[in-house]
Amino acid sequence: MTIVDNAVYVNGLRTADPENLDETYFVLRQREGMAWIGLYRPDAEELQSVGEEFDLNPLAVEDALAGHQRAKLEHYGECLFLVLRPARYRDDVEKVDFGEIHVFAGDEYVVTVRHAESPDLAKVRRRMESMPEFLALGPEAVLYGILDQVVDEYEPVAAGLENDIDEIEDDLFGADPEVSRRIYELSRQVITFQRATSPLAGILQALMAGTPERPADADLQDHLRDVLDHVLRLNERVASFRALLQNALAVNAALVAQRQNEEMQRMTESSFEQNEQVKRISSWAAILFAPTLVASIYGMNFTAMPELTWTYGYPYAIGLMLAMGLGLYVTFKHNKWI
């Protein structure tokens, strides 16, 4: 259903519930009040009808149809065009869903175009209708109600993000390889959230200032100032979230580097130990090789070997083997190979 709610107000009181847009236009001309038309993902024909009736700027109508706009407040003659980015925190997947709402406000009309379930504009309408004296201030009172609802719905989002950041801080020293990815994803959500909230301060200040033709009512200014205070505190929290995540990312990078250095150190120590083992094995192999070499030579028993008939040949061979082995042992011991 494209038309969610459609009513005409006179002096802050709901006086008609037209069944369609054409009837709304007719009643509005007869009663000279304010029409509040709530649309949910309207098609081009419906929005074009509203644009022609209230002489809306074609560029603003095109923006409302296409969506994907940043939060902003623009003046098109006597028409105010407000874009807000409401948000909703999904605890089941620990993710923030961002919506979009466009509001056209003129002297005698307010047209809201939603592209998501949030914010709950029915709640805004009920609240404003319970305050007829305030609603009698006109479209600016409706803008206040919408802004106040959007800002109120930001609070659970900020609380959810804060809880996620606390969990990340607890996991930083747990050597969880998924921490880096989670910090990055959460940082993107915080940045998007900051882009939605940071323009609100300027928007509220502009509404409080009003225009030379239509200065803001004192009561309206007080209400807008209260929302502005909430926005300023919210922006400070979101800025602190970004700082905490940047610090967490830096700490995580330092911890990863430290773990890599420790692993490299363990590998180096293991390699050093292996080298020491190789040295010892090689040293003893060389020591044992010396007598084996002498014994193998003299074991060939060739006739022409003069030592075979020598009286001292046997003790000489034994002494030679011992001397070579001892000499190699002393050398390797000196070089700390064994």
Q: What is the pLDDT of residues 12-52, one digit of tens each?
A: 999 999 988 889 999 998 888 899 999 998 888 888 889 99
Q: What is the pTM of this model?
A: 0.75
For residues 338 and 280, the answer to whether their CB atoms sit within 8 Å is: yes
Token output for 67? 């969506």
Whole-number mean pLDDT of the chain?
86
Which helix (H) or strand (E) element contains residue 101? strand 101-105
Is residue 49 classed exposed, middle or buried when 0-12, 13-18 and 19+ CB atoms within 10 A define those classes?
middle
pLDDT computed for residue 195 by the predictor: 93
For residues 307 and 318, the answer to whether their CB atoms sit within 8 Å is: no
Q: What number is the average pLDDT over the span 181-205?
A: 92
Token output for 138? 């006109």
- Determine if residue 136 is left, alpha or beta; phi over 0 gives left, psi from -120 to 50 gives alpha, anything else beta: alpha
Give yes or no for a cis peptide into 86 (omega within 30° of 0): no
Point out the least confidently predicted range of 98-107, 160-169, 298-307. 298-307
pLDDT computed for residue 77 by the predictor: 85
Is the predicted pLDDT of residue 171 greater than 90, yes or no? no
Write the DSSP symbol of residue 116.
S
- Ranked by mean pLDDT, the top range of 83-87, 178-182, 214-218 is 83-87
* pLDDT tens sequence across 277-315: 877 888 788 777 778 877 777 777 666 666 666 777 778
**Placement of tokens 């090689």 in the chain:** 282
In the sheet that 13-16 helps form, which strands lie side by side, from edge to edge?
Answer: 13-16, 3-10, 34-40, 109-114, 101-105, 79-84, 72-76
Is the predicted pLDDT of residue 1 greater than 60, yes or no? no
Q: How confident is the model at residue 109 (pLDDT cuts 50, 70, 90)?
A: very high
CATH class of the domain at 3-258: alpha beta
Higher per-residue pLDDT: 123 or 326: 123
Q: Where are the domains of the chain?
A: 3-258, 273-334
Residue type, 228: L
pLDDT computed for residue 302 by the predictor: 66
Q: What percent of the chain has pLDDT over 90?
A: 42
